[in-house]
Structure 1
Amino acid sequence: MANHFFDQTAQVTVSNGTYKTVLTTNGANYIASMTMGGQSVGPVITSGNNGTLTFNLTNPSNIMPVSFTLYNIPIIQTMYETADFSFNWAAAVKVPGSDTSTTNNSTDTNTTTPAATSSSTTEPSATSSSTTPAPTTVTTTKKATSKAKVPTTTRKYVVLKGDSNSKSMANKYYTRTAVIKKIAKHYNVQLKVAYKKNLKLGSKAVRPVTINGRKVKSSVVNYGKTTNYYTMTYSFNVSSFKTLKKVIKGSIHVVVPQAQISTTWPIRFKFSQKAPAKASKHAAVVATSTAVTPAKPDQTKLPQTGDSSQSSLSVVGLALVSGLSFIWGNNHEAVK
């Protein structure tokens, strides 16, 4: 999905064995830094979300592994992603009038085609936490009898990463107060998510996928809204409060239209063991990572240059099946 954030043409200037490669992106506001060929650079903003990233490469290969630190992404906020850029040197086009050689003529017969993108990122963080209102118990009176109240209590919790005990970015979107009701011989535990409407994510940007080892049924998911927030609640059942002494695993699916992100985040919940007490130690949300296997570079000859000559090349990138190989990894909430 990174492909749409980068121009398919890169400008490459070859001089004294160095390939100055300029990539153009329409997602500059999402890129904190990008690393390629051992260099880490930030974008130069040209206008709006547009910008450029410049790398000085030495003897670049046809396949260049890259990594991104992305930020400013609604809900997700910060992410770390990896990808492969495929440079199609054979399709390089020499820019007319770009030769400025003084002695030897350089043979600029090939070009590089980087594909890049900044649609993702590391870890979701946001600033839209809200508090869950205490449930109200309604008592109805009919003649001399009254309906029994449903035993209800609350528990504080913390959302942790899936593979460490540090807080997940999702923690800021959960209200961190669970509403627990005694129903028959089990307990129903309700969780709530709230995020600001001005994030422009829509009313269903967060969807629960699993909780406590089971898939979340659509019948227990409820979407709502207040003046400033979109909300989502869902619940799961436990046989006793002893179950909440353990860290509860779960996962949520997050959609961020602006960054064309649609991914599932593993998380965990650590509950306080004191009824109506302040949240206990922070615990658990998870993330997944998909390793990216760089394609084996081929032996296409790179453009060469003499010691005193300069040449500019225009490198055209093609779609994946047409020669532009772009692999976008999912390396979310990586353990530090």
Structure 2
Amino acid sequence: MADTTPTTGHRGPDHRATVRDVARRAGVSPGTVSKALNGTGQISSATRERIRSAAAELDFRPNALARSVFGRRSFTVGVITTDSFERFSVPVMLGAEDALGAGRMSVFLCDSRGDPIRERHYVEVLLERRVDGFIVTGRSSNQRPPLAGTGDLPVVYALTPSADQQDCSVVVDDRTSGTLAGEHLLRLGRRQIAHVTGPDDFDAVHQRLAGLRTALQAGDATLVGAPMFGGWTEAWGRQATQILLRAHPEIDAVHYGSDLLARGGIDALRDLGRRIPEDVAITGTDNWELLTEGARPPLTSVDMGLAEVGRTAAHRLLDAIDGRPHAGREQVGCHLVVRASTDGTA
């Protein structure tokens, strides 16, 4: 039978409510309290709500160490990234923290800098800290070898997929990003569309190009000139745009494989005396707001949903920790953010 004795005023200022206090208040066992507050176990919704109400009334705050010992979990997750620039791993990690924080999970972030030896070291360190699982991310959507040495602990890959198709990988939809940009430019009446992108050895480069070509073919249009492959730099965006416009002055739109390339393209078009978007409309990729909103004019760009990649990866990892693992690759959708570089009124 539940203990209904009022507690307000009966506990000294130094007394902290325990699991047993909550259990007595709710009329259940301490084990049931732990399961209810951790979101595990087969407990009726009415019982779970009664326990949560009792915990709130007693101002109960779970002790992390006690939760770890009782549930044989540390309530921590290791995040290993190869993105030393942090452009891509930071939004992925913020999304992951949003999801993990709701489950009272803490995150250890380790940057391996693409060094396999450093990565193995971090895996060992995180295992010593008894993490409950790993999220692995990077700066590209090129697949990578599976994370080694993790034993039976669950691993989820975010943005950068595992080469093992059975591993759980949450990735962006690069192909659709190119299609969205191409369809947008065609809707604006642009027909002479060119493409400036990154290195030829990036999977994302070819997927985005394929998506752009799909949109152009559906609109009975073709790419003007050859796709311009190069570095992910403003300098390449500037140089490639100058080469294209001098060879094909009829170009009335350019889709760039990244916002950094597009910022270089804006400089080149201005130097060539071309107005944006009146003469040439431009679109970027990534929706890096530091660049897109600071550009002159502000840049239309495809948002790849990196935060959602992180959130989804975290949810998949939590499922795996609770014994419900996921397998295979899962794509997160992207969307176009229209600004003045294609729509002068935006």
Normalised TM-score (structure 2): 0.30
**In proportion to residue count, which structure has more strand?**
1
Structure scoring higher RCO (CA < 8 A, sep ≥ 6) equals: 1
Normalised TM-score (structure 1): 0.30
**In proportion to residue count, which structure has more helix?**
2
